[in-house]
Amino acid sequence: MDSDYKKIYTGSFIIAQLIVDKLEALGISAIVKDESESGRLAGFGASISGSQDIYVNIEELPEAIPIVESVTSELEAH
């Protein structure tokens, strides 16, 4: 991954998509990396199905981190 980007989340597809949607609503472009899907498309298996990484530009970290914290804490509260 390019050094201008920082991983802000690793976890389930559903939570990752919720985070990405909230980031995009603020104009933050996130990159989602899905190792299992990449492996499947290449013809290889993956050990962790459904786990995704979200990366954002380091300049957008101050806006992105609170979104991740908000989504994850909201889900933990339920």
Whole-number Cα distances in Å, 65 to 33, 34, 38, 48, 49: 17, 20, 26, 24, 25
**Reported confidence tier of residue 44, pLDDT bands at 50, 70, 90:** low
Strands (E) across the chain are located at: 5-12, 31-33, 51-57
Report the alpha-carbon distance of residue 37 to residue 72 in Å, rounded. Answer: 23
Among candidate residues 76, 55, 66, the one with its CA nearest the CA of residue 26: 66
pLDDT digit string, tens, across residues 3-41: 799 999 999 999 999 999 999 999 999 999 987 654 555
pLDDT digit string, tens, across residues 63-73: 999 999 999 99
Q: What's the mean pLDDT in 46-70?
A: 89
Say how many C-beta atoms besides its own lie within 10 A of residue 35's C-beta: 15
